[in-house]
Structures are given as C-alpha cells and as structure tokens.
A = this chain, B = another copy of it.
Amino acid sequence: MYKSMNNTDDFKQYWFYGILPVTDNEEVFMNHTLDQLKAYLGKMRQYEHVLSLLYWDMNTMAPEKGMETRVGAINYFSTEQFRLSTSDELGEMLRELSEPEQFDTLDAAMQLTVKRYLRDYERFKRIPEDFYTSYTEAKTRSEKAWEKAKRSSDFSEFAPHLEKVISMTKEYVHYMEPDEDPYDVLLGLYEEGMDSATIDRVFDELKEELPPLLKKIEESPKPDLRALEGSYDINAQKKVQDMLLRYIGFDADAGATAESEHPFTLDLCIGDVRVTNHYKEDDPLSAMFSAIHEGGHAIFGQSIDPAYENTAAEKVELMGLHESQSRFYENILGRRRSFWTPIYDRLGELLPQFRRIPLDTFCRAINDVHPSMIRTEADEVTYCLHIILRYEMEKAIFRENVPVDQLPRLWNDWMEELLGIRPENDGEGILQDMHWSDGSFGYFPSYLLGSMYDGMFLEALEDEMGSVDTILEEGRIGEITEWLNKKIHRYGSLYTSAEVLQRVCGRELTARPLLDYFNRKYSELYGFKR
C-alpha cells in the first residue's frame, strides 16, 4: 500500500557518492598539446556545468533560507572557473596552438576555440588584479543602488554609482583592448565583430521609417482586447506551454521546463537545454509568447552539432544571433494568423475561454502596436525604438562624455522624439533597465540586431521555401525549424553573425527586410496604405 523505504535506498545511493569510480585525470598523460587542451576544456566544462545548474536551481527551486550557502557555492566555483580560464597552463597551450604550423592543422571549431580563449586570456591578463576587484565591487554596489533608486524613482541616488561604473568601464575596456575604440569593444563583447559604424547605418534606416509607420498604425482603429479579459487556470496554461513547445520543435527529451520570476533559457549542454516561464492568471498571452520565445532559444541550443561539444562553437556567444532565433519564433512566426490556424482549436480545448474568441480577434490582440514607456512590455515595432534610444544614450556616454546628471533629460527628450511620449518619472524612464547598473553597456543593440537578422532570414526562407503562411497553414512548421537547424542552429557560435548573414542571405546586414515585413504586415492588419 505504501512505500516508505525508498527514501533510505536513495539516501544510500547518495551516501555512496564518495566512492564512485575514481579516474585520476592528471595521470592520463597526453602526447599532444591539442589533447592536453581538450582535457583541460573538459575540466572547465565541469565547472560551467555546475555553475549553470546552481543558477538554474537558484532561480527555479532553492528556498530563501538556503540562499547564503548557495551564494557561497556560486562564488567558490566561479572563482575556480576563473582560475582555470586565466591559468598560465592554459595560456601556454593556447599560445602554442596558435602558432601557424599548429593552428592550420586544427578543425574550424578548435581554431575558433584557440582564438577566442587566447584573446580572452590575454585580455584578462592585462587587467590589474586590484582594479578588477574594485570594479567588481563598484558594480555590485551600483546594482544595489539601482534597485533602490528604481523603487523610489530617484535618479540622484543612483547617479554617483552610475558615474563610477561608467568611468571604470571605460578603464576596464581600455585595459582589455588599449588600441581599440572602447564602445566598439563593448559591442563586440555581446556580438562578435559588431561595431557602431554598422549599427549607425542600419539604425538610421529604422529611425527614418519607423516613426511614420507607427503614426499610421496609431491613426487606425485599435484592436479590442476586452474579449481576452478573464481568469485563466495556471495548470491549463502550463499545458498550453507544453503544446506550444512541442509544436515549434522543442525536444522534451533534451530539455526541461520550470517556473521562475522571469522567463529564461539555460543551456546545460546540447542534450539539456531548459526554459522557464512565469504565469499570470489574468494574462494568458504573457506565458504563451514567453514559451514560444524561450522555445526559440532552446531549439537553437538543442540543435547545435554535437561535434562542437566542448568547443567555443557550443557556447552561447552571439547575443544578437541567439535573440534572432527566439524572436523569429515569437514574432515572425508566432504573431501570424497562419501559425495559429493548425492549433487554435487545441488552444480552445486547453483554455476554453479561447473558444469564444474568433481567430481574427485573437490575431489583432497579439499584434496590438502602440507606444509605451517600458521596453520589456513593448510590441515588436515600438521595441525597435526603445533600443535605438538606448543605443544613442550609450554613444552619448562613451563618445560624447555627456555628464551623468544630464542623462535623464536626454532620455526623456529622445523618448519624446522617437516614441512621442515622455516619462513622468525616472522609474519609467532611465531607471527601468538593470543593464547599465552592472556595466553591461553595449548589450542593448543585440536585441534589435536580432530582429533585423530575422527580417533577412524571413526573406531568405521565403525565397527558398515559398510563403511562410502557406507552410504554417499546412501544419508544416517542422520544415521551417529544419531549415533554421540546417542553416543556423547546427553551427552554434562557429560563425559570427555577419558570416551567418553572408552564408544564409548572401549579403551584409540591412534593415530593409525587417521594414518590409513590418510595412506589409501592419498595413494588411490595420488596413492602411503602405
């Protein structure tokens, strides 16, 4: 009738951990530096694996009272990982393998690994230890000050910390790459090879065309969202998530799902890529589109060629390219009528409220475009302008050295210029994002780069495969996922985004396809002339 003993059986298994097979890695002598490096990378991988797991657990499961021990563990293994990635032993292997006669014999993934790790190793070695410690401390204090300032909408509390983090970030970047433009170095941290000359060129196109498009949308009749009001069972929402993930191609045998405060994706390894979600009783769309978004990230991670395991190509390194995949599923596919045609009845079975909402009404609701203050709540069109604003701010900070106390007004002015609305306080203005508080300047543009890549990928996909709407309506979404797997995912971070664009689209970055997509979609949906 009851099983009360299994527990102790499991205690026992656990107990015996201490005496699992012992293989002494250090005694396996390697003949070649390449083999040595591979063994070393295998060791580094273990630390990354447990750090990922500690992070996952902390955000999905760990209780309040265990947090201190948990933070201790994260600190310990981060330190170990940091030591491994800056050890002289690693440096010597990397230098030896980067000599042309050795380098030329490596395969592409190992060449990339040697290049990236050596660059990072050398960058770290140029940073004085004292400076590094003070910088880390300054960022930690700044993050805390930002949290407090955001809550009270009081920029003056945050200003001295921001000022310090800006000046130290400049110093930090200068140590890393003394001969390069600091802001370009920052951009490259998140999107390899990206620079502000390229971004200026494409953002200018968007700055010119998006405001008039937004004006046309605003002058059109608004979608009626009242049909969606109501209370949606959380367990049913979880079943909708499972249905959506399966539909787009997430492999449940190579991943897992859980709840967390904010949705995120985490790659433990190619065979274990996990997504979280956050459910709101009064808003079923939030969790549905988060599921599709995170599912897109996860499909990328699950589809990397296993041959790249344990090389730099396996790592999530290109934020723009990664974001392009989550947004391709979420926006380019997920906000289309044809995406829902094959599964709308199923959605109604799981969440019966949707049976009362015609598919057309639903499609208007998931494409409700209007200016708003908060980036993370913005639709796919105005989102672009939120990013452009932040990019302009970062250039003002790093190129024009605009004093910190002038930044809030600059933010509000640009907000008014780009989106036609002005924040009433700094909480809904410059204080809304955490990125700058911890020195992550240069990160924001990658979100929008992802959307532009998507416009280009959509064009290439339709050139080769025909209308996406036809494919989706016929329930052949699997063919789109296969195309993305084959063209993009399988290579992981092997190619820079610029290289991927050349390989997949045959040309360099342009905003044109994204703009064409917006114009076509919203003129049809809102019924105005392009």
Contact = CB atoms under 8 A, between A and B. Distances in A.
Interface of A: 1-25, 43, 46, 49-57, 59, 61-70, 72-79, 81-82, 85, 132-133, 136-137, 140, 235, 251-256, 258, 262-266, 268-272, 278, 283, 285-286, 289-290, 293-294, 297, 316, 319, 322-323, 326-327, 330, 366, 368, 375-377, 379, 434-435, 438, 440, 443, 446-447
Contact of A5 (B133, B136, B447): B447
Contact of A74 (B15, B17, B70): B17
A13 B440 CA distance: 10
Given A21-B137, A73-B50, A262-B9, A65 B253 contact: yes
Given A14-B52, A70-B272, A235-B235, A133 B21 contact: yes
Given A14-B55, A137-B21, A271 B79 contact: no
Contact of A375 (B5, B67, B79, B253): B5
Given A75-B23, A319-B8, A82 B3 contact: no
B262 A18 contact: no
A213 to B, nearest CB: 19
B272 A376 contact: no
B4 A330 contact: yes
A326 B69 contact: no
Contacts of A251: 65
B78 A17 contact: yes
Interface hub of A1, A14, A18, A56 (most chain B Cβ within 10 A): A1
Contact of A66 (B3, B63, B269): B269
A116 to B, nearest CB: 13
B272 A69 contact: yes
A50 B52 contact: no
B22 A79 contact: yes
Contacts of A258: 61
Contact of A53 (B50, B85, B326): B50
Given A14-B266, A263-B7, A22 B440 contact: no
Contact of A271 (B10, B69, B137): B69
Contacts of A263: 3, 6-7, 10
A147 B32 CA distance: 41
A19 B136 contact: yes
A490 to B, nearest CB: 16
A13 B377 CA distance: 20
Contacts of A12: 319, 435, 440, 443
